[in-house]
Structure 1
Amino acid sequence: MPGPKSGSGRRFNGASRADGIIAGRAGGSWQRGYTLIEVLVAFAVLALALTLLLGTLSGASRQVRWSADAGRAALHAESLLAQTGVGEVLQPGRRDGEFEAGRYRWTLEVAPYQDPARPSPATVDPFAPRLLQLRLLVTWGDGGPRENLVVDSLRLVPQDLTQGVVP
């Protein structure tokens, strides 16, 4: 029983394999392979997958860098707060400086702590120690919006009798 004829007058018997490749016999020879469209679609899918993978890896490396920078900023802040008030009398005011040749900049503000539940100043013992609030701001980053870390702390300091009573 003869098969269907192609436009060129040659016989074509098509057979389908389990892997999706169509094999056919035209003019006595077997032809196997992928069409140009199938190859182009495969390359497009591969390019899309690689683009997504590289985007994910780029985002992950950016997060690792930010995490390392934030960790170093936290270590610098902890170190600076540990040294504050050691060997010197802690006084209200503002100081600033930098770490690692300017990569990290810091500002320390020291002010008397105002407790909303604190009794009126007339009932406070003038010789009692006082609380000071420390606010440390550490900033870093290249251009654009900078990253920052804010650390608040309280310190109990003795009353400075040479400068009078501070409420």
Structure 2
Amino acid sequence: MSAGRSSRVPPARQRGFTLLEVIIAFAVLALALTLLLGTLSGSAREVRASADAGRAALHAQSLLDQVGVGEALSPGSRDGEFEDGRYRWHLRIDPYVDPTMRTRDTIEPGAARLMLLALDVEWGDGGPRQSLQLQTLRLSQPDAFGGGSF
């Protein structure tokens, strides 16, 4: 070795991330988190909508179970609400007319007859409201004292 020469090896270039790479990584992370949070909030909305629909179905079933208990059904309509107005309902009772019958048979007074119960339940604040429509048939026994209400 000569005295004038140094035995130094050029310093190795340090490896790392450039500023541009770090910025791109943060942008990709932010986009992924935005998509994830959007999915989670959408799922939470769906769970709430499902819970509301389930509660509406339970209220509707409860109301239909009470209609005509202990008294004869008579045609008419009724409105009401559940849970302090959160769910609103409209019940319509009409005599059932069989669509397959070509001629209308006369029904004897005092005979039992089928009644069509149509229940509409609505809920939701502002925007498009959610609704549930149920229909069922009930056999209406005539009231011994003539007439009756639901």
- TM-score, normalised to structure 1, is 0.75
Indicate the residue corresponding to 2:96 in structure 1: 113
Deviation at 1:97, TM superposition (A): 0.4
After superposition, give the CA deviation of every residue in 1:44-74 in whole Å (9 maximum; x if it has no partner).
Answer: 1101100110110011000000000000000
Of 124-133 and 96-105, more deviation after overlay is shown by: 124-133
Deviation at 1:120, TM superposition (A): 3.0
Is 1:70 matched with 2:49?
Answer: no
Change (3 A) 1:121 1:162: farther
- Whether the 8 Å contact between 2:77 and 2:93 is mirrored in structure 1 is yes
Indicate the residue corresponding to 2:119 in structure 1: 136
Of 114-123 and 69-78, more deviation after overlay is shown by: 114-123
Report the number of matched residues. Answer: 139
Structure 1: give runs of 5+ residues left out of the alignment: 1-26
Work out which structure has the larger RCO, using CA pairs closer than 8 Å and 6 or more positions apart in sequence. Answer: 2
Indicate the residue corresponding to 2:33 in structure 1: 50
Indicate the residue corresponding to 2:86 in structure 1: 103
Q: What amino acid is the match of 1:100? A: E
Q: What amino acid is the match of 1:154? A: L
- Whether the 8 Å contact between 2:72 and 2:141 is mirrored in structure 1 is no
Deviation at 1:31, TM superposition (A): 1.3
Deviation at 1:28, TM superposition (A): 2.0
RMSD: 2.2
Deviation at 1:161, TM superposition (A): 7.0
Deviation at 1:82, TM superposition (A): 0.1
Name the structure with the higher strand share.
1
Deviation at 1:163, TM superposition (A): 5.4
Cα separation, 1, equivalents of 2:102 and 2:113:
13
Cα separation, 2, equivalents of 1:122 and 1:41:
79
Cα separation, 1, equivalents of 2:112 and 2:15:
91
| Larger Rg computed on CA atoms | 1
Indicate the residue corresponding to 2:6 in structure 1: none
- Whether the 8 Å contact between 2:112 and 2:139 is mirrored in structure 1 is yes
Change (3 A) 1:116 1:124: same
After superposition, give the CA deviation of every residue in 1:105-157 in whole Å (9 maximum; x if it has no partner).
Answer: 10000001110223634565555311110000000001111100000000111
Percent of aligned positions that are identical: 63
Deviation at 1:90, TM superposition (A): 1.1
